[in-house]
Amino acid sequence: MAKKMTIVLFSGELDRALAAFNVATTAASMGMEVTIFFTFWGLNAIRKQTSGRKASGWMRKMFNWMNRGGTRNLPLSKFDMVGVGRSMMKKVMKDSNLPSLEEMMSLAKELGVRFIACTTTIGMMGLGPEDFVSYVDEYAGAATYLGQAQQGVVNLFI
């Protein structure tokens, strides 16, 4: 039986998401069954660009306006410089023949990586399934993650 690996993607920065997808695609290539549990800021990686506009209440609306979703809105954890560092990083990655985060996510799906989106954070932020990209396999909670993690030989929190 294939070995299992899980990743909790808690962070919403481009570099951290890239690290998660680098390890996820490699593990899947090595024959592992990989699950990524997206929670909190990590949900931004799988949110649509325009998500969260219809959330109820002014606080949620304001929050979703500030905390923009979509891969293109993820900042760098260091030297983002209001997007300048991000653009430079993307240019350097392209020059190094590295896939973009969007390409990595698509690769991960091709390799059978499962995406689980955390319903607690989604509920708190006033979001719904319509706010997420079609890559999401399941909307679930911590118990579902732990069910996978218990069988995992590698479990990462990023």
Partner 1 sequence: MEAEVRLDCSNQLCPMPIVRAKQEIMKMVAGQVLEIVATDPGFPSDVKAFCAATGNELLALEEAAGKFRAYVRKQAE
The footprint of partner 1 (CB under 8 A) covers 22-23, 25-26, 28-32, 96-99, 107, 110-111
**Nearest-approach distance from CB 10 to partner 1, in angstroms:** 21
Quote the CA–CA distance of 52 and 48 in Å, as a whole number.
Answer: 9
Quote the CA–CA distance of 74 and 59 in Å, as a whole number.
Answer: 21
- Helix, strand, or coil (residue 127): coil
Neighbours of 116 (CB within 10 A): 21
Which residue, 7 or 43, has its beta carbon nearer to partner 1? 7
Q: Which residues make beta-bridge pairs with 140?
A: 118
4-9 vs 33-38, strand pairing mode: parallel
Quote the CA–CA distance of 16 and 101 in Å, as a whole number.
Answer: 10
**Nearest-approach distance from CB 21 to partner 1, in angstroms:** 9
Which residue, 111 or 146, has its beta carbon nearer to partner 1? 111
* Phi and psi, residue 52, nearest 5°: 85, 0
For the chain, helix, strand, coil in percent to 5 are 50, 20, 35
**Nearest-approach distance from CB 107 to partner 1, in angstroms:** 6
Which residue, 41 or 135, has its beta carbon nearer to partner 1? 135
**Nearest-approach distance from CB 23 to partner 1, in angstroms:** 8
**Nearest-approach distance from CB 28 to partner 1, in angstroms:** 8
Which residue, 111 or 158, has its beta carbon nearer to partner 1? 111
Which residue, 56 or 96, has its beta carbon nearer to partner 1? 96
Query: At 108, which amino acid appears?
Result: A
